[in-house]
Amino acid sequence: MPRLLVLTMSCPDGIGIVASVTRFLADHGGWIVEANYHADEKDKWFFMRQAILADSFHLSVDEFGDRFIPIADQFGISWKLSDTRHKKRLVLCVSKQDHCLSDLFHRWKSPDAGFDIVAVLSNHEDLRSFVEWHEVPFVCIPVGPGVNDPAFEEMARLYGRFGGEGMILARYMRILPPWFCERFDGQIINIHHSFLPSFVGARPYHQAYERGVKLIGATCHYVTGDLDAGPIIEQDVIRVDHGDSPEGMARLGRDIERIVLARGVQYHVEDRVLIHGNKTIVFR
């Protein structure tokens, strides 16, 4: 894959935004190989993602920031420029189940993964040998009942120590405190074993069974202080029927969970997701 510079931005909608930004890129030799746009008619807000061949561009990332200021100020643009040469450093959080963890480890070995797994944090010891076999640091931080701020403070400290740029809850079965979610807003991704907003919280397959649903699913979303209510990145479903027990639904659901989480993580590390309020714009 060629090295790319990826520009993502959002601003109040208006005339001339695309023309001004693309002209700026062209004036500095930027060869655009992928362009995505979306205008939110309700909020009058504009979103854009541009992928540029890095070897064609005449500016460094620091120089880009200095030169782009007049355009950003003119249109009120919030923006980020990332370099695909730098792989996002992910810290995975798990409990006892390994299907999402092992799938992410497998995808990590692909040369186009776009991320590095730098550590795994867990509230149980069960997956230590699997993780350490992959030569990745594993840290167990027990989380008991009630208030567990010291445990989550330790998770926050380790996230910083390992240089984390994204925290992936790969079936981490503990609720993060609101202060933790706020500190790492837009950095924590969860896989919930339900097609949200249905069946939030614990035991969603049992909830689905009790309601006699014909479709079960999984939802990859950013984590906020509201349980299972953060901006949704990706979802998918699988059909079930009256003969499926909650345990059978869980077995079927594991495949959907790992696929949906993998898609959501890939969209995130490729800077394809822009958060707007409690929604996302995902440029697939």
pLDDT in tens, 144-172: 877 689 999 999 999 999 999 999 999 99
Would you say residue 249 has pLDDT above 90? no
What is the reported pLDDT for 244?
86
CATH 3.30.70.260 maps onto the chain at 4-83
Question: What is the C-alpha to C-alpha distance for residues 104 and 5, in angstroms, rounded to an integer?
Answer: 24
Question: What is the C-alpha to C-alpha distance for residues 156 and 139, in angstroms, rounded to an integer?
Answer: 12
Q: Is 116 a catalytic residue?
A: no
What is the reported pLDDT for 145?
76
- Contact between 170 and 93 under an 8 Å Cβ cutoff? The reply is yes
Cis preceding-peptide flag for 70 (omega within 30 of 0): no
State pLDDT tens for residues 185-206.
999 999 998 887 788 888 888 8
Q: Is 223 helix (H, G, I), strand (E, B) or coil?
A: coil
Question: What is the C-alpha to C-alpha distance for residues 245 and 196, in angstroms, rounded to an integer?
Answer: 20
Burial environment of residue 4 by CB neighbours within 10 A (0 to 12, 13 to 18, 19 or more): buried
Would you say residue 96 has pLDDT above 80? yes
CATH 3.40.50.170 maps onto the chain at 88-282
Quickly name the fold that domain 4-83 has. Alpha-Beta Plaits (3.30.70)
Question: What is the C-alpha to C-alpha distance for residues 181 and 163, in angstroms, rounded to an integer?
Answer: 17
Which among 228, 241, 255, 271 is annotated as catalytic? Answer: 228
Confidence of residue 85 (pLDDT cuts 50, 70, 90): very high
Please list, in sequence order, all residues whose beta carbon lies within 8 angstroms of the beta carbon of residue 116, skipping any fewer than 6 positions away. 87, 88, 89, 90, 108
Pairing, β 4-12 against β 45-53: antiparallel
Question: What is the C-alpha to C-alpha distance for residues 14 and 189, in angstroms, rounded to an integer?
Answer: 32
What token pair was written down for 41? 């008619």
What is the reported pLDDT for 280?
98
Q: Is the pTM of this model over 0.85?
A: yes
Would you say residue 111 has pLDDT above 90? no
Question: What is the C-alpha to C-alpha distance for residues 141 and 272, in angstroms, rounded to an integer?
Answer: 32
Name which of 260, 275, 267, 271 is nearest 230 in CA terms: 275
Judge: domain 88-282, CATH 1.10.1840.10. no
What token pair was written down for 97? 């189940």
Confidence of residue 225 (pLDDT cuts 50, 70, 90): very high
The average confidence (pLDDT) of the chain is: 94
Name which of 221, 193, 220 is nearest 207 in CA terms: 193
Percent of the chain whose pLDDT exceeds 70 = 100
Would you say residue 218 has pLDDT above 90? yes
State pLDDT tens for residues 252-280.
899 999 999 999 999 999 999 999 999 99
